[in-house]
Amino acid sequence: MDVAAELLAGSVAAGARAIRWLDDGDPRGRTVLERIFAATGRAHIVGITGPPGAGKSTLLDALIMEQRRRGRRVGVLAVDPTSPFTGGALLGDRLRMGRHALDAGVFIRSLATRGEAGGLSRATYDACAVLDAMGFEVVFVETIGVGQEEIDVVALAHSTVIVLVPGLGDEVQAIKAGLMEAGDVLVLNKSDREGAEQTHRHLEMLLHLRQDPSQWQVPLLTSIATRAEGAAALCDALEAHRAWLDQTGGFTRQSERRAEQQFQRLVRALALPRLLEGAEDLLTLVRTRALDPYSATERLLQRQLPRR
């Protein structure tokens, strides 16, 4: 079967195969990506992030239902190791997610590989391009909101939803603060829990400090994902953000930036082994501390990438 052609025609089997190849590092994946790349850049890429236990997957589940109600085809990439999509959670969750299995308008894939640098893997970017080329109007990327993954998903997505819960300990305030700067939509999930009002006030204050009237106004929503409450409002907010991006040229800019980043990531990953070819002499000097790493790097670059 011609995987690239079938994938462009929307074949789920072809899409699944391409993503598996890309996740496994099979060279056929790369060939497919070369052929479909021109067809990418249309999907609205939405990152869903937040600390473990915030209920991201449950909220995403409700969001999928709402998008389907609005007639949109939805792709989902799960890269959160604690997500039920990736098999990290309780049986109940997994059964619940199964209800999309018979819906041809929903395509869910979890990615096994993590990035070499702890963030999103190359396969995540590639799989995103596959779902985009398959014609899904919205592609959700669910990721854990800590460290590099959090930074990567913001770079990848057009819109980033940050899911928080009441009563997160003081310890995660630092994480929360980092997340806050990155979000386009904030959702306080489990808003019927004790302490919700206080957390809501706190977030409102933080948002207020940050708002710039000439920029996108980040909305603070509430949800009770287990009862699907708040999903419609979240859908509305994402549509509003998409409209704002279209209006300001941000949608295209972000798509261009994504392609550029993917290129830079590849260069970084593939150049290192080639740069280190024939650098055994320098490695030995550094290992034995006869030469410091800075001087060794300078010598290597001089040798391999002389300035013209």
Report, in this order, helix, strand and coil percent for the chain, each rounded to 5.
55, 10, 30
Choice between 70 and 299, CB closer to a copy of itself: 299
Per rule CB under 8 A, is residue 206 in the interface with a copy of itself? no
Q: Which helix (H) or strand (E) holds 186?
A: strand 185-188
Distance CA 94, CA 99 (A): 9
Axis crossing angle, helix 147-156 with helix 122-133, rounded to the nearest 10: 30
Distance CA 157, CA 140 (A): 9
User: Rounded to the nearest whole angstrom, what is the least distance from the CB of residue 183 to a copy of itself in the complex?
Assistant: 17
Nearest 5°: phi and psi at 73? -85, 135
65-84 residues in contact with a copy of itself (CB under 8 A) are 81-82
Choice between 98 and 118, CB closer to a copy of itself: 118
Distance CA 185, CA 218 (A): 5
Distance CA 145, CA 162 (A): 8
User: Rounded to the nearest whole angstrom, what is the least distance from the CB of residue 107 to a copy of itself in the complex?
Assistant: 22
State how beta strands 138-142 and 220-222 pair.
Answer: unpaired
User: Rounded to the nearest whole angstrom, what is the least distance from the CB of residue 69 to a copy of itself in the complex?
Assistant: 29
Binds a copy of itself by CB under 8 A, chosen from 13, 151, 205, 243: 151
Binds a copy of itself by CB under 8 A, chosen from 215, 260, 281, 303: 260
Distance CA 76, CA 45 (A): 10
Query: Could you give the 3-state DSSP secondary structure of residue 160?
Result: strand
Binds a copy of itself by CB under 8 A, chosen from 1, 9, 112, 276: 276
35-64 residues in contact with a copy of itself (CB under 8 A) are 37-38, 40-41, 51-53
103-132 residues in contact with a copy of itself (CB under 8 A) are 117-119
Binds a copy of itself by CB under 8 A, chosen from 25, 98, 147, 167: 147
Per rule CB under 8 A, is residue 250 in the interface with a copy of itself? no
Q: Which residues bind a copy of itself (CB under 8 A)?
A: 30, 33-34, 37-38, 40-41, 51-53, 81-82, 88-90, 117-119, 146-149, 151, 169-175, 256, 259-260, 262-268, 270-272, 274-276, 282-283, 286-297, 300-301, 304-305, 307
